[in-house]
């Protein structure tokens, strides 16, 4: 009896040792006794859960973390630009985003020089590829945004609605496969003022992104190979027309052209929308009965395809970067890896976010099934489908500026100030000047 017990103990400790060895091989987080690492992190409840892991890293390495800033990314972006302008970069790790990263030039280091290929291989390859700027890996992705469709099962499974839909369009009512089908359903479901088919982010980067997504799904693109703006193509006009059609049909809240994500999230959670094409992070919000009326009937589907048969797959990742000016780059890299490692990815995924580590996908699905939330596991399948065709906005410094000429034009067309073609032509002309000034377009 005792012998067996001893054997079992020995075996398990050997396992622990092996496990430990495997961990050490993974990534050496190093020791930085007495060092204080200054970081600028994106704030907000969805993001801050991860930061509860900071004390763990502090214990592991002996260093201290000082959060010098915690803001949303637009505020953070402005702050970082001020730091660049005043030449006062006194911090090491910063939250970053794939759409913003190209603007910062050589502010951040190439992480490939600090992290082994073996470690990098653990990240989702496509996600990691879109974290590169000019061949430099300037950021480690923590969660990925990619459009996915949320829908309300109570509406799609309502026999009266199913019958009416079948009668009207001759097809069964099911989550849409194409943008045209989706448009048809948006208008079908709309019963203002109590229910709208959907809502879209009607300004800022949100509208540019959604337009770009639809443009690409229709077979168009923002630029051609020589960086000439070509978004005023037929595909672009069709994309704008899609927005205009649902807007004119009053199938979206009239205020949607002034909405950003927070308004859409609120409207969906309040049970005002039938569908919502949105980022994965809202899954946690929508499925929480304390904040959402639709928690019990939330359905997930892959984003629809456009007229080219492809998904636009607008995506981007929140990430961590390490500054060139950092006085202890190994410590900074250590934290960036720690906050995106398997355990961190799992933590983000359990909150409903799309992780950036390949193996986390299977793990989190199992976890949700084990924890009695099979619908969340089902969600990850849909998300993975969308991720397969994910595409970021053009990774150039001028993207935000071009985006700022695109969305007012799309807005102007939606509300009927200009025709779709005229609005896009004007915007393309402005974008051309921006690209010429930048020297990208000859």
Footprint (CB under 8 A) of another protein, residues 97-156:
103-105, 107
How many of the chain's residues bind another protein (CB under 8 A)? 74
Q: Which of 47, 165, 189, 368 binds another protein (CB under 8 A)?
A: 47
Coil, strand or helix: which one is 328? Answer: coil
Q: 411 to 430, contacts with another protein by CB under 8 A?
A: 411-412, 414-415, 417
**In sequence order, which residues have a C-beta less than 8 Å from that of residue 180 and are 6 or more positions away?**
307
The answer to the question of residue 202 lying near another protein (CB under 8 A) is yes
194 binds another protein (CB under 8 A): yes
The footprint of another protein on residues 156-185 (CB under 8 A) is: none
Cα–Cα distance for residue pair 359/159, rounded to 1 Å:
40
Site string for another protein, 306-345 (x = CB under 8 A): ------------x---------------------------
Which residues lie closer than 8 Å to 111 by C-beta, 6 or more apart?
Answer: 137, 138, 139, 140, 321, 322, 333, 336
Sheet order of strands, 298-302 included: 275-278, 148-152, 298-302
For residues 152 and 365, which CB has a smaller minimum distance to another protein in the complex? 152
C-beta closer to another protein: residue 279 or 320: 279
DSSP 314: B
Task: With CA atoms as reference, report the closest residue to 199 among 268, 245, 151, 279.
Answer: 268
Tell me the three state secondary structure of residue 123.
strand
Chain-centre distance of CA 125, in angstroms? 16
Q: Is 285 in the site for another protein (CB under 8 A)?
A: yes
Residue 64, interface with another protein (CB under 8 A)?
Answer: no
Stretch that binds another protein, among 146-154, 193-201, 373-381, 388-396 (CB under 8 A): 193-201
Q: Say whether the peptide bond before residue 193 is cis (omega within 30 degrees of 0).
A: yes
Q: With contact defined as beta carbons under 8 Å apart, do 175 and 301 qualify?
A: yes
Q: Considering only the stretches 115-123, 173-181, 209-217, 399-407, report the one whose residues sit in contact with another protein under the rule CB under 8 A.
A: 399-407
The piece of 15-23, 65-73, 227-235, 324-332 that touches another protein (CB under 8 A) is: 65-73
Residue 352 in contact with another protein, rule: CB under 8 A: no
The verdict on 72 binding another protein (CB under 8 A) reads yes
The stretch among 28-36, 151-159, 260-268, 338-346 that binds another protein (CB under 8 A) is 260-268
For CA atoms 25, 27, 32, 33, give the dihedral sign.
negative
Residues 6+ apart with CB under 8 A from 337: 27, 29, 115, 119, 140
291 touching another protein, by CB under 8 A: yes
Q: Which is nearer to another protein, 106 or 362 (CB)?
A: 106
Nearest residue to 323 via CA among 314, 333, 313, 315: 333
Stretch 262-281: interaction string toward another protein, x if CB under 8 A: xx-xxx--x-x------x-x
Pick one of 2, 4, 45, 117: the residue that binds another protein (CB under 8 A): 45
- How far apart CA 194 and CA 271 sit, in angstroms, is 9
Between CA 430 and CA 421 the distance in angstroms is: 14
Residue range at the interface with another protein (CB under 8 A); choices 15-23, 67-75, 172-180, 217-225: 67-75
From 23-31, 86-94, 148-156, 355-363, give the range in contact with another protein by CB under 8 A.
86-94
């Amino acid at each position: 009896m005792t012998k067996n017990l001893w054997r079992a103990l020995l075996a398990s400790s050997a396992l622990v040792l092996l496990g430990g060895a495997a961990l050490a091989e993974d990534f050496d987080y190093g020791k930085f006794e007495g060092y204080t690492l200054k970081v600028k992190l994106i704030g907000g409840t969805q993001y801050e859960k991860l930061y509860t892991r900071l004390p763990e890293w502090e214990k592991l390495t002996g260093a201290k973390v000082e959060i010098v800033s915690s803001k949303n990314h637009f505020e953070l972006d402005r702050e970082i630009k001020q730091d660049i302008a005043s030449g006062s970069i006194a911090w090491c790790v910063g939250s970053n985003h794939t759409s913003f990263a190209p603007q910062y030039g050589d502010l951040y280091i190439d992480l490939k020089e600090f992290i082994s290929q073996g470690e990098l291989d653990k990240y989702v390859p496509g996600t990691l590829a879109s974290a590169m700027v000019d061949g430099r890996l300037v950021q480690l992705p923590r969660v990925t945004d990619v459009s996915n469709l949320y829908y309300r099962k109570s509406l799609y499974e309502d026999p009266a609605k199913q019958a009416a839909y079948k009668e009207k369009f001759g097809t069964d009512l099911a989550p849409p496969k194409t943008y045209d089908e989706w448009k048809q359903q948006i208008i079908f479901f709309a019963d203002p003022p109590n229910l709208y088919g959907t809502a879209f982010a009607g300004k800022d980067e949100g509208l540019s992104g959604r337009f770009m997504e639809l443009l690409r799904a229709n077979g168009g693109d923002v630029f051609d190979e020589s960086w000439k703006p070509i978004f005023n193509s037929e595909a672009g006009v069709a994309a704008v027309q899609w927005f205009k059609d649902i807007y004119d049909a009053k199938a979206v809240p009239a205020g949607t052209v002034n909405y950003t994500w927070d308004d859409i999230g609120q409207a969906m959670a309040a049970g005002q929308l039938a569908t919502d094409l949105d980022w994965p992070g809202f899954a946690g919000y929508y499925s929480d009965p304390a904040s959402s009326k639709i928690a019990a009937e939330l359905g997930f589907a892959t984003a629809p395809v456009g007229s080219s048969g492809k998904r636009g797959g607008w995506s981007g990742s929140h990430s961590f970067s390490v500054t060139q000016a950092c006085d202890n780059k190994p410590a900074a890299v250590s934290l960036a890896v720690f906050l995106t490692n398997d355990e961190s990815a799992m933590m983000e995924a359990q909150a409903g976010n799309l992780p950036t580590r390949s193996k986390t996908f299977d793990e989190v699905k199992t976890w949700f099934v084990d924890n009695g939330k099979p619908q969340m596991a089902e969600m990850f399948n849909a998300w993975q489908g969308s991720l397969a065709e994910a595409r970021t906005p053009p990774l150039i410094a001028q993207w935000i500026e071009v985006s700022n000429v695109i969305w007012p034009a799309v807005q102007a067309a939606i509300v009927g100030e200009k025709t779709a073609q005229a609005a896009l032509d004007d915007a393309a002309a402005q974008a051309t000047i921006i690209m010429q000034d930048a020297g990208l377009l000859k």
